[in-house]
């Protein structure tokens, strides 16, 4: 009888332990960040480099009112319970306002509410805007072993609702933090405005579409400012680099020296995207001119829609002449 009681008690203890372990495991956040065993906190310098040059993106490149530029960066460090934006999903009201108008207030409120409700946000970071298509901006961010993911958005200015960014990039690899990482960035459409060009007027997409990546062939429309059908892939329009800051003997982060990039150094890394000439359809034939009872000539014309650049296909003839019989001869 004592042996039976011992076996019963042992089984009860084991069952209790299993329930406790399973209950704890089910409370852990899902995703890669749940297995981060690195030191609790890490600090990074994040450097955003704009590569939006007229050489790399010659089609409809904005030169004035306003010229090509980048908005400020708004980012967050978080766990897998939070998502700032996702490809092929609908943008939040905050992301819509930021992508369309550069207004960050609603997005900030969304981040704060997520942090308060499910404790999924560790910190918010921002970096200054860049007043041209090329250049750099930087700031610092802090990640936590339970919040090792980084997301941010930067608006493309001018544009209908286009932006670049990263979503849920994990800086923790098991038992250590990544020392340095660089990511090429490509344009995204927030799905809230239907414009095709950088300077398109505000025209809301109804119903709202999902966030999609803009490529050299999608949207498949000649008016699209990023439409380069001869390319296989667009060149990166920007790049982000994150570098882990080391600690000195006092345990304090070593200050990161922001060295503004020289324009010549950045421009050397730009690829030249060839842009073919685009012309309009032919006009109607003009009147036939010439002496009566003899052959005359008539002309039709077309005009240049897009001038070639970077050794693209040159423009064809813009007028054409053919023989005809003169009209209205007496």
- C-beta of residue 300 within 8 angstroms of C-beta of residue 275: no
Using the predicted structure, report yes or no on whether residue 23 has a pLDDT greater than 80: no
The predicted structure's pLDDT at residue 164: 98
Q: What is the DSSP letter of 236?
A: P
Q: Where are the domains of the chain?
A: 42-244, 278-324
Give the architecture-level CATH label for domain 42-244. Sandwich (2.60)
pLDDT for the residue numbered 304: 78
Residue ranges of alpha helices (H) inside 79-231 are 93-101, 105-118
Instruction: Give the class (CATH, top level) of 278-324.
Output: mainly beta
Q: How far apart are CA 72 and CA 126, in angstroms?
A: 7
Per-residue pLDDT at 330? 57
Q: How confident is the model at residue 235 (pLDDT cuts 50, 70, 90)?
A: very high
Residue 20: band (very low, low, confident or very high) from pLDDT cuts 50, 70, 90: very low
- The per-residue pLDDT for range 207-234, each reduced to its tens digit, is 999 999 999 999 888 889 999 988 889 9
Q: Look up residue 33 and give its DSSP letter.
A: G
Q: pTM of this prediction? A: 0.74
Counting residues of the chain whose pLDDT is more than 90, the rounded percentage is: 56
Q: Given this model, what pLDDT does residue 111 score?
A: 94
Helix/strand/coil for 309: strand
Structure tokens at 42: 């890490």
Average confidence score pLDDT of the chain? 83
Question: Would you state the pLDDT for residue 325?
Answer: 84
pLDDT in tens, 246-271: 876 444 554 444 444 433 344 445 56
> Which residue would you say has higher pLDDT here, 287 or 86?
86
**Cβ proximity of 125 and 77 under 8 Å:** yes
Q: In whole angstroms, how far apart are CA 203 and each of 12, 19, 103, 315?
A: 66, 55, 18, 32
């Amino acid at each position: 009888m004592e042996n039976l009681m011992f076996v019963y008690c042992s089984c009860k203890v084991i069952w209790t332990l299993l329930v406790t372990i399973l209950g704890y495991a089910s409370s852990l956040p899902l995703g890669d960040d749940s297995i981060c065993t690195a030191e609790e906190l890490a600090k990074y310098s994040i450097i955003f480099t704009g590569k939006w040059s007229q050489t790399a993106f010659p089609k409809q490149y904005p030169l004035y009112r306003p010229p090509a530029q980048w908005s400020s960066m708004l980012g967050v460090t978080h766990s897998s319970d939070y998502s700032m934006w996702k490809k092929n999903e609908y943008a939040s009201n905050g992301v819509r306002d930021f992508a369309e108008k550069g207004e960050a207030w609603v997005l900030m409120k969304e981040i704060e509410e997520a942090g308060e409700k499910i404790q999924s946000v560790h910190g918010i970071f921002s970096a200054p805007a860049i007043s041209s298509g090329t250049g750099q901006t930087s700031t610092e961010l802090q990640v936590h072993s339970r919040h090792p993911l980084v997301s941010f958005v930067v608006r493309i200015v001018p544009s209908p609702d286009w932006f670049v960014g990263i979503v849920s990039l994990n800086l923790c690899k098991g038992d250590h933090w990544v020392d340095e990482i660089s990511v090429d960035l490509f344009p995204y459409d927030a799905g809230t405005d239907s414009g095709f060009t950088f300077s398109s007027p505000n025209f809301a997409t109804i119903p709202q579409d999902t966030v999609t990546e803009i490529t050299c062939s999608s949207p498949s429309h000649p008016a699209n400012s990023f439409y380069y059908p001869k390319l296989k892939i667009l060149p990166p329009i920007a790049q982000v680099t994150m570098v882990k800051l080391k600690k000195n003997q006092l345990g304090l982060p070593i200050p990161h020296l922001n060295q503004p990039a020289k324009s010549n150094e950045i421009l050397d890394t730009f690829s030249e995207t060839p842009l073919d000439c685009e012309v309009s359809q032919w006009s109607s034939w003009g009147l036939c001119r010439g002496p009566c009872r003899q052959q005359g000539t008539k002309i039709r014309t077309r005009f240049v829609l897009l001038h070639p650049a970077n050794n693209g296909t040159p423009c064809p003839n813009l007028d054409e002449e053919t023989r005809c019989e003169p009209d209205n001869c007496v």
